[in-house]
Amino acid sequence: MSNEVKIVNIKNPAKPLFRREKLPVSTGFGVCIWMKARPMTETPRPTPAEIRAFRAENPKMRERDIAAQLGISEAALVAAEVGLTAVRIDGNANRFLERAEALGEIMALTRNESVVHEKIGVFEKISTGKHASVVLGENIDLRIFPGTWAHGFAVTKTDGDQVRRSLQFFDKAGTAVHKVHLRPASNLEAYEAIVADFRLEDQSQDFVAVVSQKTVETGPVDVEALRENWSAMTDTHQFFGMLRKLKIARQDAVRSVGEDFAHEVRADAVSELLRLAAERGTDIMCFAGNHGAIQIHTGPVVNLQPMGPWLNVLDPTFHMHLRTDHIAECWVVRKPTSDGHVTSLEAYDASGEMIVQFFGKRKEGMGEREDWRGLLADLPRPDSAAA
């Protein structure tokens, strides 16, 4: 599949402006390969006015789809509204986290190309760090990587009598890393104070993407070294360090380590897992995210609503919207820890990017629950007939 995206010329749709390679290409949560954009002509990108005009002509189109259609980043789409419905604010992650609890109940949204993960709750138990910050609230559970956050916007949208407010954060390339949407119970004064304090002098409508040239070098898999290091793990957080040490991509490691540590299940295993978890009342942990934030749901799933290629979870404090047609492979993965093996289900897209990951609910220092292991044992293998 080509990485090239056609750009639409708003004034003459039949005439493309230029091509841009898709940004970013991720190798899994926390690791990204960025591909350089390349112009086809010197024709400028759509102006903010042209962006707004296209948006007005397509009021029902989702913002992410508008950005893709125009060949611009989502941040450029938002920036075109600065002075109208958007305000540029400081995109510093830790500065935001230090003020986030005052917002009260909000909806936190983290997504990647294939899944949208939404949690309703309060930012609590916040700990900030240079390389990683954490939020360990009852409902809002996040792992934040501050170095990737670069741009922020406060967005206000009016739909009839309804006013929707949000804080939206993007990386240097303009890819969304995290969004916070206010709810009726949110503290509006705290929100307005954050917007006033974080407001930047630069309130331009233009957005200039800065594309990193970071790459991840991987080579052939040394299966013996992989198995030796894998079996020596005592904590799941050692996994990324092992991949870096051995210069192995995550999916390559899972495919190569052997059936005692990882085995493939059918590509529809996520749908089956969620169905079984809802049916049996099994509490799960659902991880989804991007290179700037990972968001976690812990607890039950109840209300599953498939709609075309989308599988939706619509529970009181947890919403997930998953493109099941993007899932190319699913793997049940076992990692040794000091508390025994911990088992997960990992879903990958066709490019090898991990879309979403599931664990059974557990606490540090406690072994994995048998009901979770039983659920994973019931997932169909690739060679089994579809129901």
Sorted by where each starts, the structural domains of the chain and their CATH numbers stand as 4-79 (no CATH), 223-377 (3.40.1570.10)
Nearest to 294 by CA among 101, 97, 141: 141
Q: Tokens 């948006």 label which residue? A: 55
pLDDT averaged over every residue in the chain: 89
- Find, among 301, 366, 311, the residue nearest to 339 by Cα: 366
Q: How confident is the model at residue 317 (pLDDT cuts 50, 70, 90)?
A: very high
- Which pLDDT score, from 0 to 100, does residue 383 have? 79
Range 68-84 average pLDDT: 96
Angle between helices 93-100 and 188-198 (to 10 degrees): 150
Cis peptide before 336 (omega within 30 of 0): no
pLDDT of residue 364: 73
Q: What is the percentage of the chain residues whose pLDDT exceeds 90? A: 80
| 111-131 per-position pLDDT tens digit | 999 999 999 999 999 999 999
Q: Distance between CA 242 and CA 259 in Å, rounded?
A: 19
- Contact (CB, 8 A) for 272 and 379: yes
Confidence at residue 45, expressed as pLDDT on a 0 to 100 scale = 86
Asked if 228 and 221 touch (Cβ cutoff 8 Å), the reply is no
Model pLDDT, residue 212? 75
What are the structure tokens assigned to 159, written together?
A: 């739909």
Question: Residue 273: pLDDT above 50?
Answer: yes
pTM of the entire predicted model:
0.87
Identify the pLDDT of residue 266. 97
Instruction: Report the distance separating Cα 112 and Cα 290, nearest Å.
Output: 6
Report which secondary-structure segment, H or E, holds 364.
none
Tens of pLDDT along 345-363? 999 999 999 999 999 998 7
Residue 195: pLDDT band by 50, 70, 90 thresholds?
A: very high
The winner for highest mean pLDDT among 14-28, 200-214, 240-254, 372-386 is: 240-254
Q: Which of 211, 378, 191, 365 is nearest to 282 (CA)?
A: 378
In this predicted structure, the answer to whether residue 34 has a pLDDT above a threshold of 70 is: no
Query: What are the tens digits of pLDDT across the range 245-266?
Result: 999 999 999 999 999 999 999 9
Strand partners, 356: 288, 347
- Distance between CA atoms of residues 166 and 168, nearest Å: 6
Q: Which residue has the higher pLDDT, 177 or 62?
A: 177
